[in-house]
Chains A and B, each alone.
Chain A
Amino acid sequence: MSESNQRPGARSRRQAQIDELKFSLHLLRQSPLVVLGVVLITVTVVAGVFAPYVAPYGPEERQWNRNLESPSLEHLLGTDETGGDIFSRIVWAIRLDLGLALLIVSGQLAVSIVVGSVSGYFGGKVDETLMRVTDVFLAFPSLILAMAVAAALGRNLYNLALSLVVTGWAGETRLVRGVILSEREKLYVEAARAVGASRGRIVFRHVLPNAIYPLLVSATLGLGGTILGFAGLSFIGFGAGSGMAELGYMIALGRDYLYRSPWVAGFPGLAIFFIVLGFNLVGDGLRDILDPRLRR
């Protein structure tokens, strides 16, 4: 038995990890803001995933003779200028926006893990070069670059998503590199090297797991930021095409009827606000709990 190899009273490493996780979860539950965030995220994710069952009307279904109606029992949040049911369109749009945001953030994470690991582990000239490249991407106005890339590729949703991956990887790359730089010199890495582990194994099995929590925080906050950025670009006129159920685009359409029918722009914006607030509350809570200086 493995237990017999340990000194009496010493907890196994795995047990310590589990206790740590339990303690973190306990702290998370203590914070009403995190609980609020979890509720907001759960509601929107459920609405998005089960959109076909939640939304009473289709995403582009229209009743042309019933446009710009104020909220009623039949149309919970009113109708837009083409007679689309705003509640249904929001539910469908959440499905689209949330899915794309997940895709964008995963893309950014993939790039930043690879580039950050290479940069941090190899160091020297490789690191210097890669870091100058991230400097350039941090210095270049990201919204403008995203718009330019999206414009160059042709304006549609997927190119917009791609442009956000291209412009948004630099910050997390720095994060990964920082963790790897600080872990690289530690004893356990040397031990792994002494045992004969390959570079790839050391980076991916031993060093990178230390970056999981900072990356988790950054990705949670990143999801909120991505949804906002995406909606903003599509508000200015990139991405979503005519009639599509996409939150930023719905607000852009509602802008023309702002004074007459404020619900057309108002509710989609409220939906964005709730989703992004959810991610920010959870991300912020996670960051506090993982920050040992604030933990006590």
Chain B
Amino acid sequence: MRLRDYVIRRLILLLPVLFGVTLIAFTLSHVIGDPVAAYISERTPEWQIKQVIAAKGLDKPIFVQYGIYVSDLLRGDWGLTRSVNDRAVTDVIKEFFPSTFELTAASLAMILVVAIPLGIISATHKDKPLDHATRLFALSGVSMPVFWLGLLMLFVFYYRFEIMGLPSLPSGGRVTPFLYPPLTSITGFYLLDSILQVRVDAFLDVLAHLIMPAFVLGYNGLTMVTRMMRSSMLEVMRQDYIMLARSKGLPERIVIYRHAMKNAMIPTVTVVGLSFGSLLTGAPITETVFSWPGLGRWAAGAILRTDFSAISGFAIVSALVYVMVNLIVDILYAFIDPRIRLG
């Protein structure tokens, strides 16, 4: 099957999934929640509420309402979010997305730098103490409650370091609130913004804010990648061409890092791609602990305030990211591994 046909077929398969996601989001916001609440505040007078109900068709039968909901979504009217001063959901997503993306990219960078070498070490020392230690370290990441790890890090690096007079890390947020002169946002990615404006102080400040949440998120996501790298290394190391490379007298280092690693990376890429997707949809708990102004914290807050238009908006964005990342990973997979035929 040609790549183009494959992509088209996959995109068509997405439609029922997205339909299902809007159906759940609609059920949450219109059947369980009160849809009028998205458009009014406590100060809205009675006549205006009636107007909103009539304008949004909320007095119509439920399937007509679903039609209106979907056509509103398609027109880009995703409702207003009570959690962020009644602003439009789409605007809020645009504002929070870069923030979550920056955090995701940072933790993914950490995962790649740490997990892949760990996986290799683990595989090349299979069943030796070093392998056990590595696996214990990796499994610990996924066994810890992220909020607890976050609190521990705050206690040590924010509080204890401050007391002991060591350079401490900030407790939350993306940038010091009264940084002077303030950092103007161009792209929404603060690290990039500070580079574009040649602001060393701002860059370091943003970086300091990023370290703890990125570490917490990354440590949690590292396990899957390490595990995948280990098992695919073990599999590759048994292949004939590795034996050939060894019998040619190549140094073990070259055999591992040149010959084996390249092929072992193929399945690992899939896992990395998938974890990128799951990180990108925001980490409600990590973002809450570190007061990170991103999608996840917004969504968690929205649920506590039963802000249903925010929940529906967040769910749709997450689902879109999830299905797109899956598609991209599958295509990428076929590109790196010529043995794979798209079917």
- The reply to whether A132 and B20 contact each other, CB–CB distance below 8 Å, is yes
A 190-213 binary contact with B (CB < 8 Å = 1; else 0): 000000000000000000000000
Return chain B residues, CB-CB under 8 Å to A276.
143-145
- The reply to whether B136 and A33 contact each other, CB–CB distance below 8 Å, is yes
A124 within 8 A of B: no
Return chain B residues, CB-CB under 8 Å to A62.
none
Which one of B20, B127, B132, B145 contacts A136 once the chains associate, using CB atoms below 8 Å?
B20
What is the minimal beta-carbon distance from B194 to any residue of chain A, in angstroms?
30
A8 within 8 A of B: no
A9 within 8 A of B: no
A138 within 8 A of B: yes
A276 to B148, CA, bound (A): 13
- The reply to whether B145 and A284 contact each other, CB–CB distance below 8 Å, is no
Q: Which residues 3-37 in B have Cβ within 8 Å of A in the complex? A: 16-17, 20-21, 23-24, 28, 32-33
Given contacts A143-B284, A152-B32, A251-B148, contact A236 B304 (CB under 8 A): yes
Given contacts A269-B145, A272-B148, A273-B144, contact A140 B24 (CB under 8 A): yes
**Stretch from B93-101, B257-265, B318-326, B333-341 that touches the partner:** B318-326
B 139-175 binary contact with A (CB < 8 Å = 1; else 0): 1101111111101101100010000000000000000
- The reply to whether B148 and A133 contact each other, CB–CB distance below 8 Å, is no
Return chain B residues, CB-CB under 8 Å to A269.
144-145, 148-149, 151-152
B107 within 8 A of A: no
Given contacts A139-B322, A148-B28, contact A251 B147 (CB under 8 A): yes
Q: Which residues 118-177 in A have Cβ within 8 Å of B in the complex? A: 132-133, 135-136, 138-141, 143-145, 147-148, 151-152
Q: Which residues 271-307 in B have Cβ within 8 Å of A in the complex? A: 281, 284-285, 288, 299-300, 303-304, 306
A75 within 8 A of B: no
- The reply to whether A258 and B314 contact each other, CB–CB distance below 8 Å, is no
**Total cross-chain contacts (CB, 8 A):** 138
- The reply to whether B151 and A258 contact each other, CB–CB distance below 8 Å, is yes
A281 within 8 A of B: yes
Q: Which residues 255-296 in A have Cβ within 8 Å of B in the complex? A: 255, 258-259, 262, 265-266, 269, 272-273, 276-277, 280-281, 284, 291, 293-294, 296
Return chain B residues, CB-CB under 8 Å to A132.
16-17, 20
Return chain A residues, CB-CB under 8 Å to B135.
33, 284
- The reply to whether B145 and A272 contact each other, CB–CB distance below 8 Å, is yes
Which one of B140, B146, B154, B311 contacts A277 once the chains associate, using CB atoms below 8 Å?
B140
A222 within 8 A of B: no
- The reply to whether B231 and A265 contact each other, CB–CB distance below 8 Å, is no
Give the A interface residue count (CB, 8 A).
48
B315 within 8 A of A: yes
Give the B interface residue count (CB, 8 A).
49
B235 within 8 A of A: yes
Return chain A residues, CB-CB under 8 Å to B132.
31-33
A237 within 8 A of B: yes
Which one of A144, A152, A266 contacts B314 once the chains associate, using CB atoms below 8 Å?
A144
- The reply to whether B145 and A232 contact each other, CB–CB distance below 8 Å, is yes
- The reply to whether B318 and A144 contact each other, CB–CB distance below 8 Å, is yes
A231 within 8 A of B: yes
- The reply to whether B142 and A280 contact each other, CB–CB distance below 8 Å, is yes
A 28-39 binary contact with B (CB < 8 Å = 1; else 0): 001111001000
- The reply to whether A151 and B306 contact each other, CB–CB distance below 8 Å, is yes
A259 to B235, CA, bound (A): 48
Closest 8 CB pairs of A and B: A269-B148, A136-B20, A277-B143, A276-B143, A139-B319, A141-B318, A152-B32, A147-B303
Measured CB to CB, the residues of A under 8 A from B are: 30-33, 36, 132-133, 135-136, 138-141, 143-145, 147-148, 151-152, 224, 228, 231-232, 235-237, 248, 251, 254-255, 258-259, 262, 265-266, 269, 272-273, 276-277, 280-281, 284, 291, 293-294, 296
Some 8 contacts from A to B, beta carbons below 8 A apart, are A136-B17, A140-B318, A143-B285, A144-B315, A228-B145, A266-B148, A281-B139, A293-B231
Measured CB to CB, the residues of B under 8 A from A are: 16-17, 20-21, 23-24, 28, 32-33, 127, 132, 135-136, 139-140, 142-149, 151-152, 154-155, 159, 227, 231, 234-235, 238, 281, 284-285, 288, 299-300, 303-304, 306, 311, 314-315, 318-319, 322-323
